[in-house]
Amino acid sequence: MSSYLLPLELWGIRLCLIGSDRGVQKVKFITPEEDFSFLKTLPPWGEEARKQMGDFQTGQRQKLTVPFDRVRKSSFGEKVLAEVQAIPPGECRTYGEIAAKCGSPGAARAVGRLMARNPLPIFVPCHRVIGANRKLTGYSGPGGVEFKKWLLEKEKDVFGKP
């Protein structure tokens, strides 16, 4: 099985999708100094990933559905990832709301732990999950909570949410 790297941009943020023949395994935020110009081979899902990201940036697509090749989680973990993927751009849900929708209303902290280790930020939009008090809480991506806030504001602008 082959391994692939696919650099992309989202609203000026540089990302690198890392994956296999089956799909994306991880999203890495990359710096301007990191050079991927040597890459010549697109992954099988590369063109679709580029198209979806372009459509998402302009508000023409609400959900990124590029195939994933991820390590299987527990059934609870799979439910959490699916619920987080279902949150529309520019909207938020609390960790507790996600836990309750997954059938475990007392598992807000477990949802938080899953989000902290999310290997697919943006695609599984953990930045849309917030604290019980409706305030922004931790974000393991670059820039922490300030970046989480910026992503949410950008989504609201692009998708016309109040």
pLDDT, tens digit (0-9, with 9 covering 90-100), for 12-46 = 999 999 999 999 999 999 988 888 877 778 899 99
Q: Please check whether residue 7 lies inside any domain of the structure.
A: yes
- 109 plus 148 within the same structural domain: yes
- 31 plus 100 within the same structural domain: no
- 86 plus 154 within the same structural domain: yes
Question: What's the rounded Cα separation, in Å, for the pair 65 and 67?
Answer: 6
Closest CA to 62 of 122, 19, 148, 149: 122
* pLDDT at res. 148: 94
Q: 135-154: per-residue pLDDT in tens?
A: 999 888 888 999 999 999 99
Q: Please check whether residue 63 lies inside any domain of the structure.
A: no
- 48 plus 82 within the same structural domain: no
- 86 plus 35 within the same structural domain: no
Q: Please check whether residue 64 lies inside any domain of the structure.
A: no
Closest CA to 129 of 161, 56, 118, 71: 118
- 101 plus 51 within the same structural domain: no
Residue 118 has pLDDT above 80, yes or no: yes
- 102 flagged as catalytic: no
* pLDDT at res. 46: 94
Q: Please check whether residue 67 lies inside any domain of the structure.
A: no
Domain with residue 85: its CATH number is 1.10.10.10
For residue 21, the tally of other CB atoms under 10 A from its CB is 13
* pLDDT at res. 162: 66
Q: Please check whether residue 154 lies inside any domain of the structure.
A: yes
Structural domain tally of the chain? 2
* pLDDT at res. 53: 95
- 81 plus 38 within the same structural domain: no
Question: What's the rounded Cα separation, in Å, for the pair 122 and 102?
Answer: 21
* pLDDT at res. 143: 87
Q: Which of 16, 92, 102, 126 is catalytic?
A: 126
Q: In what side-by-side order are the strands of the sheet with 13-20? A: 3-10, 13-20, 24-29
Q: Please check whether residue 66 lies inside any domain of the structure.
A: no
Q: Domain range for residue 100?
A: 75-159
Q: 43-83: per-residue pLDDT in tens?
A: 999 999 999 999 999 999 999 999 999 777 789 999 999 99
- 150 plus 108 within the same structural domain: yes
Average pLDDT value over all residues in the chain: 92
